[in-house]
């Protein structure tokens, strides 16, 4: 499980006196989100952003994707990513950005754990089975990636505040 080494507030981007959002509250936001946006970088340097379902699981962000998808091609040459979740409003809610590196998960026990966590969070439609080093339906298994956070930015709206959680 990941725990921040430091937590700070950037007073330039918030209402005066706003405290940092505690890490436990940030994790609750990451765990309860239903949709995330994954940002990767194409080989030519152009960003690629795609919405996807995922999990905040055991202190990191986990997602599945097909071996031939654009995000997988991007991760083969640059594993730096940003994962975003939040609400599309200006004056209410909280947005969270997780920065880190996406690493492929291939361990059978870890994949079974991820498959079960997807089912618990998203229900029968997302019941995955493990097929070798991938998960999903037998005719279209996907690869699992885990993003261990290096930095997590939290943007509170109404009242406004910006918290940064940094990891080792």
The three-class DSSP label of residue 57 is: strand
Residue 1's pLDDT band, with cuts at 50, 70 and 90, is low
Pairing of strands 143-156, 60-65: antiparallel
Residue 22: inside a domain = yes
Domain count, the chain: 1
Q: Evaluate whether residue 124 is within a structural domain.
A: yes
| Structural domain includes residue 140 | yes
Let me know if residue 101 belongs to a domain.
Answer: yes
Within-domain flag for 1:
no
**What confidence category does residue 2 fall into, taking pLDDT thresholds of 50, 70 and 90?**
confident
E strand or H helix that includes residue 24: helix 23-32
| Distance from C-alpha of 42 to C-alpha of 82, rounded to nearest angstrom | 14
- Residue range 33-52, pLDDT digits in tens: 999 999 999 999 999 999 99
Burial of 32 per CB tally in 10 Å (0-12, 13-18, 19+): exposed
**Full domain range(s) for residue 20:** 6-162
Is residue 167 domain-resident? no
CATH of the domain at 67: 2.30.110.10
């Amino acid at each position: 499980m990941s725990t921040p080494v430091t937590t700070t507030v950037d007073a330039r981007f918030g209402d005066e006196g706003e405290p940092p959002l505690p890490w436990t509250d940030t994790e609750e936001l990451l765990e309860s989100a239903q949709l995330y946006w994954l940002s990767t970088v194409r080989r030519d340097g152009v960003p690629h952003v795609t919405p996807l379902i995922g999990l905040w699981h055991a202190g990191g962000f986990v997602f599945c994707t097909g071996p031939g998808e654009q995000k997988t091609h991007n991760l083969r040459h640059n594993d730096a990513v940003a994962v975003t979740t939040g609400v599309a409003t200006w004056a209410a809610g909280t947005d969270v950005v997780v920065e880190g590196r996406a690493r492929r998960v291939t361990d059978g026990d870890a994949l079974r754990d991820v498959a079960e966590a997807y089912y618990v969070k998203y229900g029968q439609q997302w019941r995955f089975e493990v097929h070798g080093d991938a998960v999903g339906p037998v005719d279209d298994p996907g690869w699992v990636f885990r993003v261990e956070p290096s930095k997590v930015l939290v943007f509170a709206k109404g009242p406004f505040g910006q918290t940064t959680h940094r990891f080792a």
